[in-house]
Amino acid sequence: MSTTPQILAGVAQAIREVIGEDWIADELIEASTSFTDDLELESIEFVALAEKLQETYGERVDFVSWLSQMELDAIIGLTVGDVVEFIESCLS
Amino acid sequence: MPIVNANGVDLHTQVLGSGPSVVMVHGLLTGSLATWYYTAAPALANDCQVLLYDLRGHGRSERVAAGYDVDTMVADLEALLPHSSDTPVILVGHSYGALIALQFALKHPGRVDRLVLVELPLPPSKMEEITRFVERDPVDMVAALPESMQQVLNAGPRRRRATRLLEGLRFLTMECSLLKDLVAEEDVPDDALQSVQCPVLGVFGSRSSCLSVGDRLGRLVADYRQVTLEGGHYLPLEAASALTESIVGFVRG
Protein backbone atom coordinates (compact mmCIF):
# COMPACT_ATOMS: atom_id res chain seq x y z
CA MET A 1 0.00 0.00 0.00
CA SER A 2 1.47 3.36 -1.00
CA THR A 3 1.44 6.18 1.50
CA THR A 4 0.79 9.80 0.53
CA PRO A 5 4.50 10.78 0.70
CA GLN A 6 5.38 7.77 -1.45
CA ILE A 7 2.79 8.70 -4.07
CA LEU A 8 3.96 12.33 -4.00
CA ALA A 9 7.56 11.18 -4.52
CA GLY A 10 6.44 8.96 -7.42
CA VAL A 11 4.48 11.78 -9.07
CA ALA A 12 7.41 14.19 -8.60
CA GLN A 13 9.78 11.68 -10.19
CA ALA A 14 7.42 11.21 -13.16
CA ILE A 15 7.19 15.01 -13.58
CA ARG A 16 11.00 15.32 -13.62
CA GLU A 17 11.20 12.61 -16.28
CA VAL A 18 8.52 14.18 -18.47
CA ILE A 19 10.02 17.69 -18.30
CA GLY A 20 13.58 16.36 -18.66
CA GLU A 21 15.28 19.77 -18.40
CA ASP A 22 18.08 20.79 -16.03
CA TRP A 23 16.12 23.24 -13.87
CA ILE A 24 13.48 20.68 -12.86
CA ALA A 25 16.06 18.46 -11.08
CA ASP A 26 16.38 21.06 -8.29
CA GLU A 27 12.81 22.35 -8.35
CA LEU A 28 10.84 21.73 -5.17
CA ILE A 29 7.73 19.72 -6.07
CA GLU A 30 5.13 19.59 -3.31
CA ALA A 31 1.38 19.14 -2.97
CA SER A 32 0.64 22.83 -3.59
CA THR A 33 2.78 22.98 -6.76
CA SER A 34 0.65 23.98 -9.74
CA PHE A 35 1.16 22.27 -13.10
CA THR A 36 0.40 25.46 -15.00
CA ASP A 37 1.70 28.31 -12.83
CA ASP A 38 4.74 26.64 -11.22
CA LEU A 39 5.85 23.77 -13.44
CA GLU A 40 4.70 25.39 -16.70
CA LEU A 41 3.88 21.96 -18.04
CA GLU A 42 2.68 21.93 -21.64
CA SER A 43 -0.69 20.30 -22.25
CA ILE A 44 0.95 17.57 -24.33
CA GLU A 45 3.42 16.93 -21.47
CA PHE A 46 0.55 16.41 -19.04
CA VAL A 47 -0.74 13.71 -21.43
CA ALA A 48 2.68 12.02 -21.17
CA LEU A 49 2.60 12.37 -17.38
CA ALA A 50 -0.85 10.79 -17.14
CA GLU A 51 0.35 7.93 -19.33
CA LYS A 52 3.43 7.39 -17.15
CA LEU A 53 1.39 7.37 -13.93
CA GLN A 54 -1.12 5.03 -15.54
CA GLU A 55 1.74 2.60 -16.28
CA THR A 56 2.96 2.83 -12.69
CA TYR A 57 -0.39 2.42 -10.94
CA GLY A 58 -2.32 0.32 -13.45
CA GLU A 59 -5.93 0.35 -14.53
CA ARG A 60 -7.29 1.23 -11.12
CA VAL A 61 -6.07 4.77 -11.70
CA ASP A 62 -8.22 5.98 -14.58
CA PHE A 63 -7.02 9.49 -15.41
CA VAL A 64 -9.13 9.80 -18.50
CA SER A 65 -12.42 9.25 -16.73
CA TRP A 66 -11.25 11.64 -13.98
CA LEU A 67 -10.52 14.32 -16.60
CA SER A 68 -13.89 13.70 -18.26
CA GLN A 69 -15.57 15.09 -15.15
CA MET A 70 -13.53 18.29 -15.21
CA GLU A 71 -13.96 21.58 -17.02
CA LEU A 72 -10.95 22.92 -18.91
CA ASP A 73 -10.35 25.64 -16.27
CA ALA A 74 -10.23 23.02 -13.52
CA ILE A 75 -7.67 21.00 -15.47
CA ILE A 76 -5.53 24.12 -15.97
CA GLY A 77 -5.75 24.80 -12.21
CA LEU A 78 -4.63 21.31 -11.11
CA THR A 79 -1.94 20.94 -8.46
CA VAL A 80 0.40 18.03 -7.79
CA GLY A 81 -1.61 17.43 -4.59
CA ASP A 82 -4.82 17.00 -6.63
CA VAL A 83 -3.19 14.25 -8.67
CA VAL A 84 -1.72 12.57 -5.56
CA GLU A 85 -5.12 12.68 -3.85
CA PHE A 86 -6.79 11.20 -6.92
CA ILE A 87 -4.29 8.33 -7.12
CA GLU A 88 -4.71 7.70 -3.39
CA SER A 89 -8.50 7.55 -3.74
CA CYS A 90 -8.19 4.98 -6.55
CA LEU A 91 -5.78 2.79 -4.57
CA SER A 92 -7.66 2.82 -1.27
CA MET B 1 4.56 7.34 -25.18
CA PRO B 2 3.12 5.09 -27.94
CA ILE B 3 4.89 6.08 -31.13
CA VAL B 4 3.61 4.42 -34.29
CA ASN B 5 5.45 4.56 -37.58
CA ALA B 6 2.80 5.39 -40.14
CA ASN B 7 3.45 6.35 -43.77
CA GLY B 8 7.15 6.58 -42.92
CA VAL B 9 6.70 9.09 -40.08
CA ASP B 10 6.78 8.48 -36.31
CA LEU B 11 3.43 9.61 -34.96
CA HIS B 12 2.54 10.02 -31.28
CA THR B 13 -0.77 8.32 -30.52
CA GLN B 14 -3.00 7.80 -27.49
CA VAL B 15 -5.86 5.31 -27.26
CA LEU B 16 -8.54 5.94 -24.65
CA GLY B 17 -11.51 3.78 -23.60
CA SER B 18 -13.11 0.87 -25.42
CA GLY B 19 -16.10 0.44 -27.73
CA PRO B 20 -16.88 1.67 -31.25
CA SER B 21 -13.93 3.42 -32.89
CA VAL B 22 -13.65 7.20 -32.87
CA VAL B 23 -10.63 8.93 -34.43
CA MET B 24 -9.98 12.58 -33.61
CA VAL B 25 -7.77 14.87 -35.70
CA HIS B 26 -6.47 18.24 -34.43
CA GLY B 27 -5.73 21.45 -36.32
CA LEU B 28 -2.41 22.86 -37.57
CA LEU B 29 0.24 24.96 -35.83
CA THR B 30 -1.03 25.42 -32.27
CA GLY B 31 -2.91 22.10 -32.24
CA SER B 32 -1.83 18.73 -30.87
CA LEU B 33 -3.73 15.71 -29.62
CA ALA B 34 -4.16 17.71 -26.39
CA THR B 35 -6.85 19.68 -28.31
CA TRP B 36 -9.09 16.63 -27.89
CA TYR B 37 -7.51 15.04 -24.82
CA TYR B 38 -8.74 17.91 -22.63
CA THR B 39 -12.11 18.35 -24.32
CA ALA B 40 -14.32 15.74 -26.00
CA ALA B 41 -12.03 12.67 -25.92
CA PRO B 42 -12.43 11.67 -22.22
CA ALA B 43 -16.24 11.97 -22.45
CA LEU B 44 -16.31 9.88 -25.66
CA ALA B 45 -13.98 7.31 -24.05
CA ASN B 46 -16.76 6.41 -21.60
CA ASP B 47 -18.30 4.24 -24.31
CA CYS B 48 -16.00 4.41 -27.35
CA GLN B 49 -12.42 3.58 -28.19
CA VAL B 50 -10.89 6.93 -29.02
CA LEU B 51 -7.71 7.18 -31.09
CA LEU B 52 -5.87 10.49 -30.81
CA TYR B 53 -2.69 11.32 -32.68
CA ASP B 54 -0.34 14.24 -33.22
CA LEU B 55 -0.18 15.23 -36.88
CA ARG B 56 3.27 15.08 -38.48
CA GLY B 57 5.44 17.95 -37.23
CA HIS B 58 3.11 18.61 -34.28
CA GLY B 59 3.08 17.70 -30.57
CA ARG B 60 5.30 14.70 -29.95
CA SER B 61 5.22 13.41 -33.52
CA GLU B 62 8.27 13.54 -35.76
CA ARG B 63 9.18 16.92 -37.21
CA VAL B 64 9.45 16.18 -40.90
CA ALA B 65 10.33 18.62 -43.67
CA ALA B 66 7.45 17.91 -46.04
CA GLY B 67 4.07 16.30 -46.58
CA TYR B 68 1.70 18.78 -44.92
CA ASP B 69 -0.79 18.67 -47.80
CA VAL B 70 -4.13 17.04 -47.09
CA ASP B 71 -3.48 14.03 -49.37
CA THR B 72 -0.30 13.06 -47.52
CA MET B 73 -1.94 13.62 -44.15
CA VAL B 74 -4.89 11.45 -45.23
CA ALA B 75 -2.30 8.77 -46.10
CA ASP B 76 -0.88 9.15 -42.56
CA LEU B 77 -4.35 8.50 -41.17
CA GLU B 78 -4.87 5.51 -43.50
CA ALA B 79 -1.61 4.03 -42.25
CA LEU B 80 -2.64 4.53 -38.62
CA LEU B 81 -5.98 2.77 -38.95
CA PRO B 82 -5.88 -1.00 -38.83
CA HIS B 83 -6.19 -2.31 -42.39
CA SER B 84 -7.90 -5.46 -41.21
CA SER B 85 -10.76 -3.53 -39.66
CA ASP B 86 -13.88 -3.45 -41.82
CA THR B 87 -15.86 -1.72 -39.10
CA PRO B 88 -16.37 1.91 -40.03
CA VAL B 89 -15.03 4.59 -37.71
CA ILE B 90 -16.42 7.89 -36.51
CA LEU B 91 -14.10 10.71 -37.58
CA VAL B 92 -13.86 14.01 -35.74
CA GLY B 93 -11.65 16.87 -36.92
CA HIS B 94 -10.97 20.50 -36.01
CA SER B 95 -9.87 23.02 -38.67
CA TYR B 96 -7.30 21.38 -40.98
CA GLY B 97 -8.04 18.16 -39.08
CA ALA B 98 -11.65 18.47 -40.27
CA LEU B 99 -10.38 18.77 -43.83
CA ILE B 100 -8.30 15.61 -43.37
CA ALA B 101 -11.35 13.80 -41.93
CA LEU B 102 -13.56 14.97 -44.81
CA GLN B 103 -11.05 13.91 -47.47
CA PHE B 104 -10.62 10.54 -45.79
CA ALA B 105 -14.41 10.06 -45.87
CA LEU B 106 -14.57 11.06 -49.56
CA LYS B 107 -11.81 8.60 -50.40
CA HIS B 108 -13.16 5.75 -48.25
CA PRO B 109 -16.93 6.20 -48.02
CA GLY B 110 -17.44 2.70 -46.61
CA ARG B 111 -14.99 3.24 -43.77
CA VAL B 112 -16.64 6.24 -42.13
CA ASP B 113 -19.80 5.88 -40.10
CA ARG B 114 -20.22 9.49 -38.99
CA LEU B 115 -18.27 12.66 -39.53
CA VAL B 116 -17.83 15.64 -37.21
CA LEU B 117 -16.36 18.72 -38.89
CA VAL B 118 -15.45 21.47 -36.43
CA GLU B 119 -14.57 24.79 -38.06
CA LEU B 120 -13.93 23.24 -41.47
CA PRO B 121 -11.89 25.72 -43.55
CA LEU B 122 -12.99 25.27 -47.14
CA PRO B 123 -10.62 25.90 -48.82
CA PRO B 124 -7.98 26.81 -46.20
CA SER B 125 -6.24 29.15 -48.67
CA LYS B 126 -9.38 31.33 -48.77
CA MET B 127 -10.11 31.39 -45.05
CA GLU B 128 -9.30 34.84 -43.79
CA GLU B 129 -8.58 33.64 -40.25
CA ILE B 130 -6.01 31.16 -41.49
CA THR B 131 -4.35 33.30 -44.15
CA ARG B 132 -4.11 36.27 -41.81
CA PHE B 133 -2.67 34.04 -39.09
CA VAL B 134 -0.02 32.41 -41.25
CA GLU B 135 1.17 35.70 -42.70
CA ARG B 136 2.46 36.68 -39.28
CA ASP B 137 5.82 36.21 -37.65
CA PRO B 138 5.62 33.36 -35.07
CA VAL B 139 5.84 35.91 -32.22
CA ASP B 140 2.81 37.75 -33.60
CA MET B 141 1.06 34.41 -34.15
CA VAL B 142 1.23 33.74 -30.43
CA ALA B 143 0.00 37.29 -29.74
CA ALA B 144 -2.98 36.69 -32.06
CA LEU B 145 -4.22 33.65 -30.13
CA PRO B 146 -7.35 33.93 -27.96
CA GLU B 147 -6.81 35.74 -24.65
CA SER B 148 -7.54 32.65 -22.53
CA MET B 149 -4.90 30.68 -24.39
CA GLN B 150 -2.34 33.44 -23.99
CA GLN B 151 -2.94 33.63 -20.26
CA VAL B 152 -2.16 29.94 -19.91
CA LEU B 153 0.83 30.20 -22.23
CA ASN B 154 2.36 33.08 -20.30
CA ALA B 155 1.63 31.80 -16.77
CA GLY B 156 4.68 30.97 -14.67
CA PRO B 157 8.12 32.43 -14.02
CA ARG B 158 9.92 31.02 -17.06
CA ARG B 159 7.36 31.59 -19.83
CA ARG B 160 8.31 28.04 -20.72
CA ARG B 161 5.08 27.15 -22.53
CA ALA B 162 5.15 30.26 -24.71
CA THR B 163 8.81 29.65 -25.54
CA ARG B 164 8.20 26.04 -26.49
CA LEU B 165 5.14 26.89 -28.56
CA LEU B 166 7.16 29.54 -30.36
CA GLU B 167 9.91 27.05 -31.06
CA GLY B 168 7.32 24.65 -32.54
CA LEU B 169 5.76 27.44 -34.63
CA ARG B 170 9.17 28.46 -35.94
CA PHE B 171 9.72 24.93 -37.17
CA LEU B 172 6.26 24.63 -38.72
CA THR B 173 6.30 28.01 -40.43
CA MET B 174 9.97 28.32 -41.44
CA GLU B 175 11.62 24.93 -41.54
CA CYS B 176 9.11 22.73 -43.32
CA SER B 177 6.68 22.88 -46.25
CA LEU B 178 3.56 23.45 -44.15
CA LEU B 179 2.67 27.00 -45.24
CA LYS B 180 3.45 26.28 -48.89
CA ASP B 181 1.27 23.15 -48.73
CA LEU B 182 -1.49 25.00 -46.92
CA VAL B 183 -1.91 27.80 -49.44
CA ALA B 184 -1.76 25.34 -52.35
CA GLU B 185 -4.64 23.31 -50.94
CA GLU B 186 -7.59 23.30 -53.33
CA ASP B 187 -11.26 23.54 -52.56
CA VAL B 188 -13.46 20.46 -52.28
CA PRO B 189 -15.85 20.59 -55.28
CA ASP B 190 -19.62 20.67 -54.81
CA ASP B 191 -20.17 17.25 -56.38
CA ALA B 192 -17.73 15.69 -53.91
CA LEU B 193 -19.65 17.21 -50.99
CA GLN B 194 -22.89 15.95 -52.57
CA SER B 195 -21.48 12.43 -52.62
CA VAL B 196 -21.13 12.24 -48.82
CA GLN B 197 -23.67 9.73 -47.59
CA CYS B 198 -22.88 9.35 -43.87
CA PRO B 199 -24.42 11.65 -41.26
CA VAL B 200 -22.35 14.81 -40.83
CA LEU B 201 -22.28 17.25 -37.92
CA GLY B 202 -20.81 20.68 -38.64
CA VAL B 203 -19.80 22.82 -35.65
CA PHE B 204 -18.89 26.44 -36.30
CA GLY B 205 -18.04 29.51 -34.24
CA SER B 206 -20.48 32.41 -34.47
CA ARG B 207 -17.59 34.86 -35.02
CA SER B 208 -15.52 32.69 -37.33
CA SER B 209 -14.98 33.33 -41.03
CA CYS B 210 -15.48 29.57 -41.53
CA LEU B 211 -19.16 29.97 -40.60
CA SER B 212 -20.22 30.39 -44.24
CA VAL B 213 -18.78 26.93 -44.98
CA GLY B 214 -21.64 25.61 -42.84
CA ASP B 215 -24.20 27.11 -45.27
CA ARG B 216 -22.48 25.33 -48.13
CA LEU B 217 -22.43 22.01 -46.27
CA GLY B 218 -26.12 22.51 -45.45
CA ARG B 219 -26.93 22.99 -49.12
CA LEU B 220 -24.87 20.09 -50.44
CA VAL B 221 -24.50 17.34 -47.83
CA ALA B 222 -27.54 15.04 -47.74
CA ASP B 223 -27.52 14.14 -44.04
CA TYR B 224 -26.26 17.32 -42.40
CA ARG B 225 -26.94 19.06 -39.14
CA GLN B 226 -25.15 22.03 -37.66
CA VAL B 227 -24.43 23.54 -34.28
CA THR B 228 -23.20 27.13 -34.10
CA LEU B 229 -21.41 27.98 -30.87
CA GLU B 230 -20.49 31.34 -29.40
CA GLY B 231 -16.83 31.83 -30.34
CA GLY B 232 -14.26 32.04 -33.12
CA HIS B 233 -12.04 29.46 -34.79
CA TYR B 234 -10.61 27.94 -31.57
CA LEU B 235 -13.81 26.29 -30.34
CA PRO B 236 -12.04 23.50 -28.41
CA LEU B 237 -10.69 26.30 -26.19
CA GLU B 238 -13.38 28.93 -26.46
CA ALA B 239 -16.41 26.67 -26.08
CA ALA B 240 -14.97 23.41 -24.76
CA SER B 241 -18.01 22.17 -22.79
CA ALA B 242 -20.61 23.02 -25.44
CA LEU B 243 -18.44 21.49 -28.16
CA THR B 244 -17.99 18.28 -26.16
CA GLU B 245 -21.74 18.08 -25.55
CA SER B 246 -22.51 18.49 -29.27
CA ILE B 247 -19.97 15.87 -30.34
CA VAL B 248 -20.95 13.32 -27.69
CA GLY B 249 -24.66 13.74 -28.53
CA PHE B 250 -24.03 13.21 -32.25
CA VAL B 251 -21.64 10.26 -31.79
CA ARG B 252 -24.14 8.48 -29.55
CA GLY B 253 -26.76 9.01 -32.24
Which domains, and CATH codes, for chain A?
A: 4-91 (1.10.1200)
pLDDT(B231) > 60: yes
A20 vs A35: CA distance, rounded Å:
15
CB A16 within 8 A of CB A25: yes
Give phi and psi for A9, each to the nearest 5: -65, -40
Query: Cβ–Cβ of A37/B46 closer than 8 Å?
Result: no
Residue of chain B with shortest Cα separation from A41 = B161
Contacts of A41 in chain B (CB under 8 A): 161
CB B55 within 8 A of CB B76: yes
| Structure confidence at residue B225 (pLDDT) | 98
CB B104 within 8 A of CB B188: no
Q: Any alpha helices (H) in B39-95, and if so which ranges? A: 40-44, 70-80
The pLDDT tens digits for B200-229 are: 999 999 999 899 999 999 999 999 999 999
ipTM for the whole complex: 0.90
Q: How far is A92 from chain B (nearest CA, A)?
A: 23
pLDDT(B83) > 70: no
| A25 part of contact set with chain B, CB < 8 Å | no
A44 vs B32: CA distance, rounded Å:
7
State the average pLDDT over residues B177-196. Answer: 94
One-letter identity of residue B237: L
Q: Any alpha helices (H) in chain B, and if so which ranges? A: 34-37, 40-44, 70-80, 96-107, 128-134, 138-143, 147-154, 160-174, 178-184, 190-194, 211-220, 235-238, 240-251
State the average pLDDT over residues B87-111. Answer: 96
The model's pTM is: 0.94
